[in-house]
């Protein structure tokens, strides 16, 4: 297990910089022109793109974007507004080694089927089990004084939110996600975490026990056997009508 615990970094972006202003302009242009791809590197160039450590909240306007290209970025976080990119199908932040987690809201992108993430850099990844930062008295803060519940979308303050980590399958990757919850009712609505990872939503910290590689391999074997059995059952169910038709024909 990787015993290093990363410090939660807030205020990661200089929002007065030229690079940030150019990025915001680019987001507006992509939204206005109804483009289907978002590739800030191509627009800003290497030098300016390297100064970008988060994306603008205005990405919520990118309703037509299907593909997001963030390869080799210096991003440290993605804002929850990514969950409003309703057409998103492909998400590629590969080799963005400072991205250790993602907002829970990315799971709201129901069309997102394909992704490419440097998973070794993620909190809780099965290959190194990098420890999750403790969220108690140490919240992740987004831009602004309020945020929205990850489940019911209710606007809340940082004093009202209960932040928890949860690991889920998103696209083709298993990602550690940060949730902001307004109540126990919303916490109870969280989905079951991915098999082979901490099996409940949690606060993180050095005392959190994560599955070992051996336990992960055993759970993956069980999952594969279950999937194999399901395929066999589905195949049997498809064959049954053919058999019934044959019996009916013989009877007639």
Domain segments of the chain as ranges: 18-209, 212-252
Under DSSP, the state recorded for 206 is: T
- Asked if residue 252 has pLDDT above 60, the reply is no
Q: Which residue has the higher pLDDT, 130 or 229?
A: 130
CA distance 234 to 230: 6
Which range among 6-20, 84-98, 212-226 shows the weakest confidence by mean pLDDT?
A: 212-226
Q: Which residue has the higher pLDDT, 8 or 251?
A: 8
Please, what is the angle between helix 40-49 and helix 18-32, to 10°?
180
CA distance 208 to 198: 9
Q: What is the pLDDT of residues 159-181, one digit of tens each?
A: 999 999 999 999 999 999 999 99
Say if CB 123 and CB 117 are below 8 A apart.
no
CA distance 247 to 239: 13
CA distance 179 to 80: 10
CA distance 28 to 21: 11
Nearest alpha carbon to residue 14 among 70, 72, 69, 54 = 54
Q: What is the pLDDT of residues 21-67, one digit of tens each?
A: 999 999 999 999 999 999 999 999 999 999 999 999 999 999 999 99
């Amino acid at each position: 297990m990787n015993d290093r615990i990363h410090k939660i970094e807030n205020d990661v972006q200089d929002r007065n910089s030229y690079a940030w202003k150019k990025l915001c302009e680019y987001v507006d242009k992509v939204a206005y022109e109804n483009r289907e791809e978002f590739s800030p590197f191509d627009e800003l160039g290497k030098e300016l793109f390297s100064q970008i450590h988060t994306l603008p909240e205005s990405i919520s306007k990118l309703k037509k974007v299907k593909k997001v290209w963030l390869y080799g970025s210096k991003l440290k976080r993605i804002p929850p507004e990514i969950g409003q990119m309703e057409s998103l199908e492909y998400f590629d932040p590969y080799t963005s080694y400072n991205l250790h987690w993602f907002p829970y809201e990315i799971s709201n992108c129901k069309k997102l089927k394909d992704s490419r993430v440097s998973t070794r850099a993620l909190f809780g990844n099965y290959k190194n089990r990098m420890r999750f930062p403790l969220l108690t008295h140490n919240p992740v803060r987004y831009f602004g004084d309020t945020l929205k519940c990850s489940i019911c979308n209710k606007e809340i303050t940082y004093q009202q939110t209960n932040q928890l980590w949860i690991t889920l399958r998103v696209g083709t990757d298993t990602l550690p996600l940060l949730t902001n919850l307004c109540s126990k009712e919303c916490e109870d609505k969280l989905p079951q975490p991915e098999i082979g990872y901490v099996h409940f939503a949690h606060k993180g910290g050095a005392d959190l026990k994560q599955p070992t590689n051996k336990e992960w391999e055993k759970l993956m074997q069980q999952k594969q056997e279950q999937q194999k059995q399901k395929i066999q059952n589905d195949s049997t169910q498809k064959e049954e009508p053919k058999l019934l038709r044959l019996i009916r024909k013989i009877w007639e």
